[in-house]
Amino acid sequence: MPIQVLMPALSPTMEKGNLAKWVKGVGDRIRSGDVIAEIETDKATMEVEATDEGTLGKILVPEGTADVAVNTPIAVILSDGEDAKALNGPLAAAVPPKAEDAVPPPPPSPGSTGVSPASSSFIAIRAGEAPALPEQAKPGVAATLAKVVEAFATPRQPVATPETEVPADAEMVTMTVREALRDAMAEEMRRDPDVFVIGEEVAEYQGAYKVTQGLLQEFGPTRVIDTPITEHGFAGLGVGTAMAGLKPIVEFMTFNFAMQAMDQIINSAAKTLYMSGGQMACSIVFRGPNGPAARVAAQHSQDYSAWYSHVPGLTVIAPFTAADAKGLLKSAVRYPNPVVFLENEILYGHSFPVPKHEDFLVPIGKARIARAGEHVTIVAWSMGMTYALKAAEELEKENISVEIIDLRTLRPMDTETIIRSVEKTGRCVVVEEGWQQSGVGAEISARLMEQAFDYLDAPVARVSGKDVPMPYAANLEKLALPSVAEVVTAVKAVCYR
Amino acid sequence: MSDQPTAGEELPVIARFEVRRRAYLAPDGTVARSLPQFAADTRVLVSLYRAMVLTRAFDLKAVSLQRTGRLGTYAPALGQEAVAVGVASAMLPEDVLLPSYRDNGALLWRGVKMEEILLFWGGDERGNDSSGPAHDFPPCIPVGSQAPHAAGVAYAFKLRREPRVAVCLFGDGATSKGDLWEAMNFAGVWQLPVVFIANNNQWAISVPLRLQTASATLAQKAIAAGFSGEQVDGNDVIAVRAAAERAVTAARSGKGPFFIEAVTYRLGDHTTADDAARYRPPEEVQAHWKEEPFARLRSYLVSQKAWGKSQEEELAGECQERVEAAVDRYLATGPRAPETMFDHLYAELPKAYRGQRDELQGTPRA
């Protein structure tokens, strides 16, 4: 039976990629291990190797095709003895499932890069090039090198247009959150020679998640600085530079590793202005991906929103849209206080409209009404917004009108905007990926009880991560995280429907 | 298989390192080694001596203030005055000092007022907004966390191409912390203008040096980070200053970091909350009193006819007067207004916190 070759995923979070080149042609003999095609994402090129013997019977996706969804059949291999007529018969691989109900890929092998094997092909990982985190071909290295990174696709659902800060006549450009963050840093570095970026793999490698793409080339190695592997060390060094008057942007490869640096973030960055009687300021941004990622297990998949938002002296930002990512990061760099800027790996590849303006700033400490509604308020931020927006669409069909507040800044919290909304709707659901106890949702619930009790027609409901370390198993991971269904259920509950 | 190589089969040596020790004045004040250039001018040595005496007078008063309930927990520097004074005297005003909590001798040399130091140790952060250079760091209370800051300050100098040096002081206990190692690693890799100075007073509260590290010296810890270290007699202020001057000058001219281990002895308690007699034999302390830093320098100055009994008495009186006047100013400082609790939490207090601050307004101060 002919075998379908499916578009492989480089990582659990990749949704689409480009078919760069067919290395084999129709009629070519294929042995297991032969490279048959090259696939590109926005960050890397990889080779697709055949795992089955046979003849390349048909190419379904021509080379040069962009945005081929993962699991799309790209070619058919005929087994020995089969001829082209077999192509009209049944195919070995099932039609790929839709993205929404796709079976999560099996876990990557230890030390591998999180590759999900497709039916008859896999991504070649060369010996010695199997890092624990995404990697990309370095400049000058042949683009065909099989370096594996995760790629990201466009958003899965429409997104509300950013409001207020954007001038009505602003020209909008579509860009990913990743590009928006990069542009924010580049613009601020052009504007102020004291701004610099420091962290692991931020320079030569362009960022473990490619957020610092191109910065080394533009600003050179004294302002885009690769460090030894020491989160605590470079966070502390960054704090020292800030106290000496520079404006560092400290990138953590992920916030999971920032636990090493907690002492410097809290005891030094957040407290020195206070303890020095106002003599020594610390204008610094700690940024990087936060929150659960896909299939990276308990130590690499957790939400620190509540951790940092607990600390006075810190300012904690967690944007959802690319426009907010850009405008808030620029504001954070200019802010005279230490800022913890929580990004999200899964959102990096999502695209949003962003105002085309060099001086586009979003105010710190101000929430955004992402969607206006009448019956219930959902408060969310960062990745939580994806659940909220999808749930609102579903609920709309049942005539429940949802107002969504994108919190954007967690400390100081824009309580006023939340209360104003709840005064109108009388009901509130908070969505967060973090744990429920002492969570941001708990704080919002308490504030509503204290300050808007008379307006509440139902207790505030919290949809959050389960009280467990993130399970590695795909089915359990899905259950440990909030879901759209849970948000829908919670909204209906507070609406008594 | 034997670990013993047979003749001619030894593995080749690929690196050798050495650590040197610097000392000029013996405890009796005799000159053990020809003095550095600055010491030719006895006025310089007198200024160092005066600074050490003032530091001790201040220290003793601070401890008595704590004993009478007028100061918080305080870390005296008894016997270690030569370290802080010697190091500070080798710095330029534009250099940045990153002190620990036992370096008041350096703070005073840099222009911090005694009443400001008392204010901070009396529990008022206003004391840290001091008259010393605004770029100097406040004393670091956590052990060793100023070391990465020092590397950062030095990086800022390097980025801005400023001929300035970061000078970081810490105790022997801090050398066991990752903070220091991480900072030294950065300094070595990037050849930063920073000087690390360990005040090796041989006790970290109750833990003696031999339980802190198995290293023969602390100075050798620099070697693994790719730069040099030197051990100095930390009771010999001439040796401390000479080593610091050499290191600071080299760092300023782009020759990278340096590590100084100043070996001294903690003659007093760790802090006023500690009673070292419970874990330290009195004979050991007595023996170290014979090596403390004042007597040897005084003997040398007397031998050079640069110091005498009348100057000594005059200095004692002057120090007492200055300390008493500072104490008066400290004690006359009123408590802060309650709402100032929110001062300097942020550069400008965000609206979200103003309610909490305003609630404190009108609350009695004490």
The nearest CA of chain A is from the CA of B29 a distance in Å of: 40
Considering only CB atoms, which chain B residues are within 8 Å of A223?
A: 159
Task: Name the stretches of chain A with pLDDT < 50.
Answer: 92-163
- Which of A108, A345, A323 is CA-nearest to residue A208? A345
Considering only CB atoms, which chain A residues are within 8 Å of B153?
A: 240-241, 243-244
> DSSP for B330-342?
HHHSPPPPGGGGG
What letter represents residue A476's amino acid?
Answer: L
User: Which amino acids of B are annotated catalytic?
Assistant: 266, 270, 279
Residue A5 · residue A77 · CB < 8 Å: yes
User: Which amino acids of A are annotated catalytic?
Assistant: 231, 300
Angle of the B81-89 helix axis to the B237-252 helix axis, nearest 10 = 40
Q: Three-state DSSP class for B169?
A: strand
Considering only CB atoms, which chain A residues are within 8 Å of B101?
A: none
> DSSP for B2-45?
-SSPPTT-PPPP------EEE--B-TTS-BSSPPPGGGGSHHHH
Which of B150, B158, B350 shows the shortest C-beta gap to A240?
B150
CB spacing of A228 vs B155 below 8 angstroms: no
- A111: buried, middle or exposed (CB in 10 Å: 19+, 13-18, 0-12)? exposed
* Length in residues, chain A: 497
The nearest CA of chain A is from the CA of B117 a distance in Å of: 12
Q: Tell whether omega for the bond before A412 is within 30 degrees of 0, i.e. cis.
A: yes
Which of A236, A243, A273 shows the shortest C-beta gap to B182?
A236
Q: Give all strands (DSSP E) within A87-228, no chain letters.
A: 121-123, 172-176, 195-199, 224-226
Quote the pTM value.
Answer: 0.83
- Which of A14, A217, A11 is CA-nearest to residue A114? A11
Give the pair of three-digit tokens for residue A171.
């020209």
CB spacing of A275 vs B125 below 8 angstroms: yes
The nearest CA of chain A is from the CA of B203 a distance in Å of: 24
Considering only CB atoms, which chain A residues are within 8 Å of B155?
A: 237, 240-241
Which of A196, A237, A263 shows the shortest C-beta gap to B186?
A237
Task: Give per-residue pLDDT as tens, A118-160.
Answer: 333 333 333 333 333 333 333 333 332 222 222 222 333 333 3
- Using alpha carbons, list the distances in angstroms from residue A169 to A172, B114, B198: 9, 60, 61
Which of A244, A276, A412 shows the shortest C-beta gap to B96?
A244
CB spacing of A268 vs B149 below 8 angstroms: yes
The nearest CA of chain B is from the CA of A227 a distance in Å of: 8
Task: Give per-residue pLDDT as tens, B338-351.
Answer: 999 999 999 999 99
Considering only CB atoms, which chain B residues are within 8 Å of A241?
A: 152-153, 155-156, 159
- Which of A378, A350, A381, A377 is CA-nearest to residue A365? A381
The nearest CA of chain A is from the CA of B128 a distance in Å of: 5
Residue A252 · residue A291 · CB < 8 Å: no
Which of A276, A279, A412 shows the shortest C-beta gap to B353?
A412
Q: In a mutagenesis test of the A interface, which of B159, B184, B189, B357 is the best target, namely the one with the most A β-carbons within 10 Å?
A: B159
Write down the pLDDT at residue A12.
Answer: 62
Write down the pLDDT at residue A44.
Answer: 67
> How many CB pairs below 8 A link A and B?
140
Task: Give per-residue pLDDT as tens, B274-304.
Answer: 999 999 999 999 999 999 999 999 999 999 9
* Chain A residue with minimum CA distance to B117: A276
Considering only CB atoms, which chain A residues are within 8 Å of B336?
A: none
Q: Three-state DSSP class for B117?
A: helix
List CB contacts of A264: < 8 A, sequence separation 6 or more. A232, A235, A236, A238, A239, B145, B148
Considering only CB atoms, which chain B residues are within 8 Å of A246?
A: 156, 159
B350 contact A CB<8A: yes
Which of A235, A236, A313 shows the shortest C-beta gap to B345?
A313
Q: Three-state DSSP class for B281?
A: coil
Write down the pLDDT at residue A76.
Answer: 85
The H-or-E segment that residue A278 falls in is none
The nearest CA of chain B is from the CA of A142 a distance in Å of: 30
Which of B130, B138, B149 shows the shortest C-beta gap to A236?
B149
The nearest CA of chain B is from the CA of A464 a distance in Å of: 25
CB spacing of A243 vs B351 below 8 angstroms: no
CB spacing of B148 vs A239 below 8 angstroms: yes
CB spacing of B186 vs A240 below 8 angstroms: no
Q: Is pLDDT of B93 > 60?
A: yes
List CB contacts of A99: < 8 A, sequence separation 6 or more. A15, A69, A70, A156
CB spacing of A232 vs B148 below 8 angstroms: yes
Which of A230, A243, A365 shows the shortest C-beta gap to B149?
A243
Chain B (135-174) residues lying within 8 Å, Cβ to Cβ, of chain A:
135, 137-138, 142, 145, 147-159, 166
Q: Is pLDDT of B334 > 70?
A: yes
The nearest CA of chain A is from the CA of B73 a distance in Å of: 16
Average pLDDT over residues B15-36: 97
List CB contacts of A384: < 8 A, sequence separation 6 or more. A431, A432, A433, A482
* Chain A residue with minimum CA distance to B156: A241
Q: Three-state DSSP class for B271?
A: coil
Write down the pLDDT at residue A164.
Answer: 53
CB spacing of B347 vs A275 below 8 angstroms: no
CB spacing of A264 vs B150 below 8 angstroms: no
Dihedral sign (CA B288, B289, B291, B292) = positive
* Chain B residue with minimum CA distance to A311: B345
CATH C-level class of B20-335 = alpha beta
CB spacing of A240 vs B182 below 8 angstroms: no
CB spacing of A337 vs B347 below 8 angstroms: yes
DSSP state of A202: S
Spatial distance between the Cα atoms of A325 and A362, rounded to a whole number of angstroms: 9
Question: Where exactly are the structural domains of chain B?
Answer: 20-335, 337-366
Q: In a mutagenesis test of the B interface, which of A274, A276, A282, A419 is the best target, namely the one with the most B β-carbons within 10 Å?
A: A276
Task: Give per-residue pLDDT as tens, B173-202.
Answer: 999 999 999 999 999 999 999 999 999 999
Considering only CB atoms, which chain B residues are within 8 Å of A274?
A: 125, 344-345
**Which position has the higher pLDDT, B68 or A117?**
B68
Considering only CB atoms, which chain B residues are within 8 Å of A337?
A: 346-347
Give the pair of three-digit tokens for residue B124.
């008022």
Which of A240, A281, A414 shows the shortest C-beta gap to B149?
A240
